[in-house]
Amino acid sequence: MSSAVIETVSITEFATTTRNWKDSEGHDHASEEPRPATGSILTVTDSDGVSGTCLFAGDYLRPNVMEEFIRPLLIGRDPIRREAIWHDLYLAQRGAYGVLHDRALSFVDQALWDYAGHRFGQPTWKLLGGYRDRVPAYASTMCGDDVPGGLGSPEDYAAFAVKLVERGFTAVKLHTWMPPVSFAPDAKLDIRACAAVREAVGPDIKLMLDSYHWYNRSDALYLAKELEKLDYLWMEEPMDEYSMSSYKWLADQTSTLIAGPESVEGKFRSRAEWAASGSVDILRVGVLSAGGITPALKVCALADAFGMDCELHGSGMASIAALGAAHNARWYETSLLHPHIDYDVPPPHLQRVPDAIDRDGFVIFPDEPGLGQAIDFEYVAANTTGVR
Ligand code: MG
Rounded average pLDDT over 308-331: 98
Q: Which residues pair with 347 in a beta bridge?
A: none
Provide the strand spans (E) within the chain: 6-22, 28-46, 51-57, 134-141, 171-175, 206-210, 234-236, 257-260, 282-286, 310-313, 332-337, 362-364, 384-387
CA of 210 to the centre of ligand 1 (A): 6
How far, rounded to the nearest angstrom, does the alpha carbon of residue 359 sit from its chain's CA centroid?
A: 22
The answer to whether residue 32 is domain-embedded is yes
| Residues 37 and 163 occupy one common structural domain | no
CA of 351 to the centre of ligand 1 (A): 28
**Residue 32's pLDDT is what?**
85
Q: pTM (2 decimals)?
A: 0.97
| Residues 94 and 159 occupy one common structural domain | no
pLDDT band for position 59 (cuts 50, 70, 90): confident
CA of 272 to the centre of ligand 1 (A): 19
Q: Does residue 88 have a pLDDT over 80? A: yes
| Residues 97 and 206 occupy one common structural domain | no
Cα dihedral across residues 91, 245, 213, 325: positive or negative: positive
| Residues 41 and 92 occupy one common structural domain | yes
The model's pLDDT over 184-205, given as tens digits with 9 standing for 90+, comes to: 999 999 999 999 999 999 999 9
| Residues 82 and 140 occupy one common structural domain | no
The answer to whether residue 108 is domain-embedded is yes
Q: Does residue 80 have a pLDDT over 90? A: yes
The answer to whether residue 371 is domain-embedded is no
CA of 34 to the centre of ligand 1 (A): 25
| Residues 296 and 150 occupy one common structural domain | yes
What does the angle CA 352 – CA 358 – CA 360 come to, to the nearest 5 degrees?
165
Number of C-alpha atoms within 13 angstroms, CB side, residue 80?
10
| Residues 76 and 220 occupy one common structural domain | no
Residue 231 is which amino acid?
D
CA nearest 373: which of 317, 313, 319, 314? Answer: 317
The answer to whether residue 1 is domain-embedded is no
Rounded average pLDDT over 12-37: 94
Which residues are near ligand 1, the ion (C-beta closer than 5 Å)? 210, 262
The residue range of the domain holding 194 is 126-364
The answer to whether residue 372 is domain-embedded is no
**Residue 359's pLDDT is what?**
96
The model's pLDDT over 235-257, given as tens digits with 9 standing for 90+, comes to: 999 999 999 999 999 999 999 99
| Residues 236 and 270 occupy one common structural domain | yes
| Residues 29 and 154 occupy one common structural domain | no
Q: How many domains does the chain have?
A: 2
| Residues 197 and 337 occupy one common structural domain | yes
CA of 283 to the centre of ligand 1 (A): 12
The answer to whether residue 313 is domain-embedded is yes
CA of 28 to the centre of ligand 1 (A): 12
CB atoms within 10 A of CB 182: 7
pLDDT band for position 139 (cuts 50, 70, 90): very high
| Residues 81 and 174 occupy one common structural domain | no
Burial of 183 (0-12, 13-18, 19+ CB in 10 A): exposed
CA of 236 to the centre of ligand 1 (A): 6
Distances (CA, A) of 1 to 4, 26, 120, 323: 9, 47, 12, 30
pLDDT band for position 2 (cuts 50, 70, 90): confident
Cα dihedral across residues 323, 329, 330, 336: positive or negative: negative
pLDDT band for position 58 (cuts 50, 70, 90): confident
The answer to whether residue 93 is domain-embedded is yes
The answer to whether residue 136 is domain-embedded is yes
CATH code (residue 324): 3.20.20.120
**Residue 197's pLDDT is what?**
98
